Structure 1
């Protein structure tokens, strides 16, 4: 599975985080400014176990710096979700929820401090979208956080992905609201942006929410395939497609959506473009082993 999306800077950031080398990590992160969308770099660090053991010392040593607070906040977001696990709420214990909420509250403190120190940065608001969902701040507050993010970066893929999750039925939204948000975001953006992925993900979320039988019937509707093709034409098929981040995840998302929709030729096109490189999202929806799910669907598409 493609751990670092083929980006050597993501690998360097993760390795520096694993080593607890703040000097090296800061150099990598500062080498890609907010305007270049450093979400992948930051989330590779946030996903690295052990960062929480040393980043607090950096925060204390640099009281005026935003970057250590941003890293600490995002790590606590991921660390919090680790405590909760990916289980349905009814299967999560009270102790798990207490740890989850405690870590998210700590994350919120650091993310707000980062936002205060660097008002033009998008990344703190991206993190606050994740903490807000976990802390159930409500749709109005969540929308304000999303609007704060996109005022700074109108086509930020990560912020849009988080807001899509916020309006899913499983997070007190609805299928209708989710699809409307995906369409408005994708087709309201210039052709060639990454936001076309939202249409594919919305259909995958809708499929996932349905019972067996109803899920296949839904995703194979002609109007679903038609909208997937329209989104593909507006995003990765467009000659201006050159996303700052997330290219492999976008292609993997469309590969899965087209596969489930029975659009073998379109799915095969996506599989070819990935060159065998698998991202966890969205294949974990099909199997706990994303690589196995990818290979099965790729074979069915004739690759």
Structure 2
């Protein structure tokens, strides 16, 4: 029998030497129990099968998300499958050869093409060349908003104008008005086109959250704007109370999910990062408890080649700060990292 965990190890990207450090008093799992970018119970088998060169499990998974209109899951699965195909493309090539018009194969193919172009110094030129792949994915199933999220990312990378972006945005929200992935893509485009001016990004994120149900992932969008503000050096223009209101909104959303739940892990990791930057240590510790063993590369990998190590270091810092009863008004901290930052097109 093939060792499933051995096949899944590349997806964990754990780059630090394992250590066993227990944190029972803080309610945190031991360091060696923490996983990086763990796939869920549906994605894991598809990745294992792809590692063997078989595409059928991935095809069934994405077809199910399309059939049931699970667009958020579909978006996340497409990103993860494309990332795997970047280094192991054989299964995707076989899938595209066997079913060249399959909407799910076309979706992963388009995502992979954008990811590859983004990594190139000739990004803008290469992105223009992959436009037909995005168009093909969008036409394959007119209900699907995920190709439009890819198109919004493409517009940012190719420096498309606001008129064209607006047309893409209208097409995306017409298909799924509350799709978190499309909203994040739009937010990142706006931050890029405004060259670091984040007040407008906050306005966009706040409007989206205010118009969304209390249990919608869009309640976390202002925290995403806050993260960009804090990491990109927004300077003046964003009052501190807007940052605080953003994380309060996301804390409310986080409380609606069970502890140690893989589905909200990405949102909770970003929220924990922002809370640390704001010096809200007790709140950060609570989110780390809710995260449990599920660390994510973003945001921890943005400033380090060792995202798991960064996550564990920040967890140690938060635990020590709260144990020492640091006053709430203490100087805001910054997640520790001894390495230069990195920027990725596929950040969550």
| Shared fold, TM over 0.5 | yes
* Equivalent position SS for 1:167: helix
Query: Of 44, 58, 79, which aligns to 2:80?
Result: 44
Alignment correspondent of 1:30? 63
Alignment correspondent of 2:28? none
CA–CA distance in structure 2, aligned partners of residues 144 and 241 of structure 1: 38
In structure 2, stretches of 5+ residues that fail to align are 1-11, 13-34, 321-348
1:263 aligns with 2:280: yes
Pair member with larger Rg: 2
In proportion to residue count, which structure has more helix? 1
Alignment correspondent of 2:185? 162
* Equivalent position SS for 2:61: helix
Query: Of 100, 104, 114, which aligns to 1:67?
Result: 104
Query: Of 98, 101, 114, which aligns to 1:77?
Result: 114
**Which moves more between the two structures, 270-279 or 63-72?**
63-72
Residue 10 to residue 82, structure 1, CA distance change in 2 (3 Å): farther
**Which moves more between the two structures, 179-188 or 249-258?**
179-188
**Which moves more between the two structures, 223-232 or 185-194?**
223-232
1:227 aligns with 2:246: yes
Q: Shift of residue 245 of structure 1? A: 8.6
**Which moves more between the two structures, 159-168 or 139-148?**
139-148
CA–CA distance in structure 1, aligned partners of residues 183 and 172 of structure 2: 9
CA–CA distance in structure 2, aligned partners of residues 162 and 8 of structure 1: 26
Residue 245 to residue 155, structure 1, CA distance change in 2 (3 Å): farther
Query: Of 216, 221, 241, which aligns to 1:198?
Result: 221
1:1-303 matched pairs, under 5 angstroms:
2-33=35-66, 35-37=69-71, 38-48=74-84, 49-50=86-87, 52=89, 55=92, 58-59=95-96, 61-83=98-120, 96-97=121-122, 100-101=123-124, 103-169=126-192, 172=195, 174-210=197-233, 221-233=240-252, 235-237=253-255, 239=256, 247-302=264-319
**Which moves more between the two structures, 201-210 or 48-57?**
48-57
* Equivalent position SS for 1:119: coil
TM-score, reference length from structure 2: 0.72
Q: Is the contact between residue 52 and residue 76 of structure 1 (CA under 8 Å) also seen in structure 2? A: no
CA–CA distance in structure 1, aligned partners of residues 195 and 93 of structure 2: 34
Q: Could you give the per-residue CA deviations for residues 163-202 of structure 1, whole angstroms, max 9, x where no partner exists?
A: 1101115664731111111111122211011112221121
The number of residue pairs the alignment matches comes to 281
* Equivalent position SS for 2:65: coil
Q: Shift of residue 56 of structure 1? A: 5.1
Could you say what the CA RMSD is over the residues aligned between the two structures, in angstroms? Answer: 2.9
* Equivalent position SS for 1:14: helix
More relative contact order, 1 or 2 (CA 8 Å, 6+ apart): 2
Q: Is the contact between residue 40 and residue 262 of structure 2 (CA under 8 Å) also seen in structure 1? A: no
TM-score, reference length from structure 1: 0.81
Q: Is the contact between residue 204 and residue 257 of structure 1 (CA under 8 Å) also seen in structure 2? A: yes
